[in-house]
Amino acid sequence: MSFAARFRQGMKAAIPIWIAFVPSSIAWGIAAQDHGLSLAEVVLMSAWVYSGPAQFAVLGPLAEGKSALQVLIAGFLMNLRFLPMSTALAPFFRGVKRSQLLLASHVISASSFIVPYVQFQKERAPTGADSARAPDLDGYGRLAFFLGVGVTSFLVWVTGTASGFLAAFGFPPGFEEALKFILPGYFAGLLVVEMKGWAMPLICFGSLVAALPGAVVSPGWGWLVTAIVVATLGCGIEEWKLRGSR
Amino acid sequence: MEITRFQIIFIIGLMAFAVRALPQLFFVGERFPEAWDRWLRYLSYGFICSIISVTLFMAGGRIETAAAPRRAIALALAIVVAYRTKSAVTGMLSGAVLVLILARLL
């Protein structure tokens, strides 16, 4: 399949992401205007940081004039989740030039990780083979699919935040509650649709619950630590069970 | 020297880019052992779930006790609907409508 065809395939797969991104990005644009950010700052943050949860997290401290270090740490910790996502995607881009991957990596987000990752898994292992035995598929084809998802979602996000800022229309009371729900609600739906086996639901539920006490103890990194602990424990138990059954 | 808001945003973006780009530099085309591959996947999903929790139920380092119950109910509905319909968007929309109704009623 050609690069353009794979890109279009990715675009098609990204349509649900756009639906979730439109209201969320508009909500962020409105919130950013409320917090006194300029249009240039809004567009810069959406296009350069491109991370919904991190953008929401730093909005308050940034507007309140909290110390730069505090804001930077908050943003960095929120964005640390991209590290395992990008690492998990990297093996699929075999043969692609690093310079092209550097540019492409900018559009990695939770949604543009899950959709391509699940697609690549399906393409890679129809028999459930592990990565070491996986057949070599075209790295550029996968990159095209990833870009179809990532670039279009990125454009929707940036346009949405700018529109939200410019329109800044008043929502009826209670409506912001629905806007706040949309992005996390969509992430939850994406995960649920792709759930398999017993370990993944357990890890997801465990991380969801454990994040709250973790974040109460340390709003910056508590939820990160609990996610690492839960994921490692779940993975360890699964590995132990797999070894037992071999 | 005072750092401007513009510079702070730029540095946050730079750090986000580094976190996204470094694995592409070092691990492109690598084949991880099955267990490592699985751990990365679970870790990614774990982080996303933690973010869902923190975004929905917390504000300013505290649990939003007034809003948390209705958001938890809406999240549960979104999960059930997404699972049944195999559509994340349908789940998300159901949850958003429910949270809107509950916010008006309660």
Q: What is the mean pLDDT of residues A154-158?
A: 97
Whether residue B60 lies within 8 A of chain A, CB to CB, comes out as yes
Say what the pLDDT of residue A151 is.
Answer: 97
**pLDDT one-digit tens code per residue, A215-241:** 999 887 888 899 999 999 999 999 888
User: CA–CA separation, A45 vs A33, rounded Å?
Assistant: 13
Backbone φ and ψ of B62, nearest 5°: -130, 150
Say what the pLDDT of residue A169 is.
Answer: 63
- Answer yes or no: is the ipTM higher than 0.85: yes
A54 with B78: Cβ contact below 8 A? no
Say what the pLDDT of residue A176 is.
Answer: 77
Question: What dihedral do alpha carbons B16, B32, A238, A85 form, nearest 10°?
Answer: 20
Say what the pLDDT of residue A126 is.
Answer: 59
A87 neighbourhood in chain B, CB within 8 Å? 23, 27, 40
Say what the pLDDT of residue A172 is.
Answer: 67
A residues 76..115 contacting B (CB < 8 A) = 76, 78-91, 93-96, 98, 101-102, 104-106, 108, 110, 113-114
* DSSP per position, B35-53: HHHHHHHHHHHHHHHHHHH
Say what the pLDDT of residue A59 is.
Answer: 85
Say what the pLDDT of residue B3 is.
Answer: 80
Say what the pLDDT of residue A221 is.
Answer: 82
User: CA–CA separation, A73 vs A69, rounded Å?
Assistant: 6
**pLDDT one-digit tens code per residue, A75-88:** 888 898 899 999 99
A85 with B24: Cβ contact below 8 A? no
Of residues A189 and B31, the one with the higher pLDDT is A189
Q: Is the pLDDT of residue A162 over 80?
A: yes
- Residue of chain B whose alpha carbon sits nearest to that of A71: B8
Whether residue B61 lies within 8 A of chain A, CB to CB, comes out as yes
User: CA–CA separation, A65 vs A202, rounded Å?
Assistant: 40
- Whether the CA torsion B57, B59, B65, B67 is positive or negative: it is negative
Say what the pLDDT of residue A47 is.
Answer: 96
Whether residue A163 lies within 8 A of chain B, CB to CB, comes out as no
**pLDDT one-digit tens code per residue, B61-94:** 789 999 999 999 999 999 999 999 999 999 999 9
| Residue carrying the six token digits 């739906």 | A189
Angle between helix B34-57 and helix A110-124 axes, rounded to 10 deg: 150
User: CA–CA separation, A190 vs B52, rounded Å?
Assistant: 12
Q: How confident is the model at residue A173 (pLDDT cuts 50, 70, 90)?
A: low
Assigned token pair, B27: 């691990």
**pLDDT one-digit tens code per residue, A87-138:** 999 999 999 999 999 999 999 999 899 999 999 988 876 554 454 444 456 8
**pLDDT one-digit tens code per residue, A17-55:** 999 899 889 888 988 888 889 999 999 999 999 998 889
Say what the pLDDT of residue A57 is.
Answer: 83
DSSP 3-state assignment of A125? coil
Q: Is the pLDDT of residue A67 over 80?
A: yes
Other beta carbons less than 10 A from residue A245's beta carbon: 6
**pLDDT one-digit tens code per residue, B24-58:** 999 988 888 888 888 998 999 999 999 899 989 98
A102 with B63: Cβ contact below 8 A? no
Q: What is the mean pLDDT of residues A45-74?
A: 87
